[in-house]
Structure 1
């Protein structure tokens, strides 16, 4: 932590630092007892025992601990990360910043929808129940099935793939689903090699979306299993197709992203 020239070094007692940072004394004591963050300064006293104080370097370390914690690391993992020779606090700040920006994008989208509702109500306009339902779905659907870490990973994946590729994805899915439905209507059995080829393409598209993360695939699968509609998509009508793809993948030995 840098300090202006001539500015005196600052130190904090545990209660002072807890209050200043919005933490509890108990939290700081726990970090101390586990060796994650120990006050680095001890004052001398005429009566023997002095005070243990947190210095500026301790505050900088505390910030890193909290950033890593918000990024989903356990305290044991944080201790391990901070102890690495190649540990770079700048990288943690960049990761945390990217996560916050992603959350901001989600909130901005929700803000836009809520503002539209509020403006309509201010003008005494009728708002369809469908608009309310869509807004509520946007508020609850994602958080219901995905963890904060998974959402961050999906946002990162979107950035890696690029907007152009993401914009092509809906049409790719529509074309593939049409081919699968045509094969099913034709009576193609799941063990047929043609079905296996379609299953392979299906899971390749899923992997492009999830980045091959098995936990994200499981969350996606749960959402498709439990929700009849996702935005404008009739998921209930897709379930026979999803089951057929699953049987075809098993018959062809195609590994899905959740394996």
Structure 2
């Protein structure tokens, strides 16, 4: 509680509020909190009304509002509900981004703990995740991306194992094709079964999710193959024929 008519010099106010004198000068410069009085020597004097306004500024700042928005609000500008609604939307977007980052970090950490990956390989995975995320945003809806991130977060090491299974399976298919394996052979049908199982782990029978995945591949097959070692169109054709042969 303050006494009626009490005033504070700028240094006193800084100590009271935990702010720096420089910050208080800046708040005055931008018109947020001005000293309502002066000493005989011309030094700033802040009154109780100034202190109340300063505490309002600090409370709104703690909600993440910009100084410009705070000034407008205190001077009768935009309504508080609208400002807080916009701020909440920004916070939720940051939470979504951090949740996505957490999922990616968990997947990379699981791969690192599994062993056998060099630092360069891990960095390549991280860079690839960033590139793939940008591509996926062009083909998957926000709801689908959120669902994928949820699965990745919940999947932990299992999600990393699934991702790590692809390079080996692609290499096996490539070797089978190079050796002239018949797509109708039991070996080819088993490769197709494993391929389909990995795909189903991704889309889980969700038709629109599967369609988004296939569309992304169709429109970026060359880049996916060259940059990430993804399957070639010939491999896809081989697996398709092997699946058909297996019924």
TM-score of Structure 1 vs Structure 2, range by shorter chain: 0.3 to 0.5
More helix, by proportion: 2
TM-score normalised over the length of structure 1: 0.45
Q: Larger Rg: 1 or 2?
A: 2
